[in-house]
Structure 1
Amino acid sequence: MTDTSAGPGAAQIPHQRTESLLETAVRYADERRWDVVAGSWLETIGGLLFCSCGDGSCPAPGAHPTRPDWATLATRSVRAVRGMWQRRPTASILLPAGRTFDALSVPEGAGLLALARIQRMGLIPGPVIRTTDRRAQFFVLPGGAAKAPDLLRRLGWYPASLDLSSLGEGRYVTAPPTRVGTRGAAQWAAPPTLANRWLPDAEEVIPALAYACGRDR
């Protein structure tokens, strides 16, 4: 999803209206070297949107794994990724955490505050997703999810007191521009660019995230 405010050097991450989910997934795999897997999709029945899983009360319509072994199917092979979306062009784009990145998740308001704080400090944040349930997911180096609780304690925070969660191995993020039912689509708050190709360590972003979450309490 292209962010026109990202400036020169932004990776060509497309907007859903101008580039297909297939092409987007291929770019994530080819340009960012992220493992990618096709998830569920949305179906229109009687003018209403339903998840392909058939569960009328699905908590993430059109945006979750379709089988228990989903992680084993995730790949950065362009050929394999093309095959997934050629079979199901409207499938959601899921990125498994714990491989090339972990993600730190905070409320959207706190995330945007932390993002601005990080940038004011002259640091380069990794990609940041704005989810449809009003969360901000900060990409950090693998291992960041496991380190987060100890990093918070060192800063004087009790981890359970902050609305900060971690996504590591066995978890996934829903990548833009995937739609989630009627909630809209995942978006980039900080899109993938050449500048943030090398992800920050959790230690670089945890102070700003903890500060912002602490203000939100």
Structure 2
Amino acid sequence: MEDSIGVPRQFTGQLLDAAVRYAEERHWDVLPGCWLETAAPGAPRCSCGSARCAAPGAHPVRPDWTGRASGSAPAVRRMWQRQPESSILLPTGRAFDAVDVSEDAGCLALARMERMNLPLGPVLATPGRRLLFLVLPGAGAKIPDLLRRMGWPPQSLDLAVLGEGGWVVAPPTRTAPGGSAQWARRPTPVNRWLPEAEELLGPLAYACAREAAEARTR
């Protein structure tokens, strides 16, 4: 059974349940975003109505979104009961920042981190083949200087930080082009306490630099 825009009711229930869990279990602020609508014929389109939407189904609905996010589970439940198709957005710069690298570099770095027994928080995988490592807030102010001290000019690496004023798209949200946000490392009680960005930056910078060097030799 589907709702009026072609989204299975079972899936909208998953969105509501996941959004509530993020607020209730992790105490993260949660925000309902735009969603994908079924266009006939053609690919799904963003509910914002823009034919040139840069992030279909993966951005806030309103410009005043920063004041609408909530970490209250009852408030989050009411949001998704009003608009069950909404994507799940988690504002950055509050409970966490996100260090954003390519999927290839992120997988290499993740393997090194696990061998080194480094503390790890949840890690998001996007349909755009990016990995986002969740770290304590404030990473954006630290990382450029830390990279320079390590000998890597920040602009030379495919590494970015999402902090205050940004957001990440949380599972099981579907975005376009086709795919869903997924957890490469799920939130669990073990990784409730997030690492500082500098604890993970060495392996991440190394992996990004190696990826850049390989790209130059192709």
Do they superpose with TM above 0.5? Answer: yes
Q: How does 1:48-127 map to 2 (within 5 A)?
A: 48=42, 49-127=44-122
SS at match of 1:45: coil
Specify the alignment match of 2:5 in structure 1.
none
Please report how far the alpha carbon of residue 183 of structure 1 lies from its aligned counterpart in structure 2 after TM superposition: 2.3
Please report how far the alpha carbon of residue 44 of structure 1 lies from its aligned counterpart in structure 2 after TM superposition: 1.2
Q: Provide the rounded CA distance (Å) in 1 between the counterparts of 2:78 and 2:167.
A: 20
SS at match of 1:114: helix
> Which 4+ runs in 1 deviate beyond 2 A?
16-19
How far does the alpha carbon of each residue in 1:138-157 deviate from its partner, in whole angstroms, 9 at most, with x for none? 10001112111111111111
The correspondence for 1:32, drawn from 26, 31, 51, is 26
Given the alignment of the two structures, is residue 154 of structure 1 paired with residue 149 of structure 2, yes or no? yes
Q: Which has the higher helix share?
A: 2
- Does the CA-based 8 Å contact 1:125-1:196 persist in structure 2? yes
Q: Provide the rounded CA distance (Å) in 1 between the counterparts of 2:57 and 2:209.
A: 33
How far does the alpha carbon of each residue in 1:77-126 deviate from its partner, in whole angstroms, 9 at most, with x for none? 11110111001111000000000000110111000111111111012311
Specify the alignment match of 1:23 in structure 2.
17
Does the C-alpha gap of structure 1 residues 47 and 26 become closer, same or farther in structure 2, counting only changes over 3 Å? Answer: farther
Specify the alignment match of 2:179 in structure 1.
184
Q: Give identity over the alignment, percent.
A: 61
The correspondence for 2:169, drawn from 163, 166, 174, is 174
How far does the alpha carbon of each residue in 1:153-175 deviate from its partner, in whole angstroms, 9 at most, with x for none? 11111101101001000000011
Structure 1: where are the runs of 5+ without partners? 1-15
Given the alignment of the two structures, is residue 210 of structure 1 paired with residue 205 of structure 2, yes or no? yes
Specify the alignment match of 1:42 in structure 2.
36
- Does the CA-based 8 Å contact 2:97-2:138 persist in structure 1? yes
How far does the alpha carbon of each residue in 1:64-86 deviate from its partner, in whole angstroms, 9 at most, with x for none? 10111111101111111011100
Structure 2: where are the runs of 5+ without partners? 1-9, 213-218
Cα RMSD for the two superposed structures: 1.4
| Amino acid of the structure 2 residue aligned with 1:39 | G
| Amino acid of the structure 2 residue aligned with 1:69 | D
Does the C-alpha gap of structure 1 residues 92 and 18 become closer, same or farther in structure 2, counting only changes over 3 Å? Answer: closer
- Does the CA-based 8 Å contact 1:149-1:159 persist in structure 2? yes
Matched residue count: 202
SS at match of 2:45: strand
| Amino acid of the structure 1 residue aligned with 2:124 | I
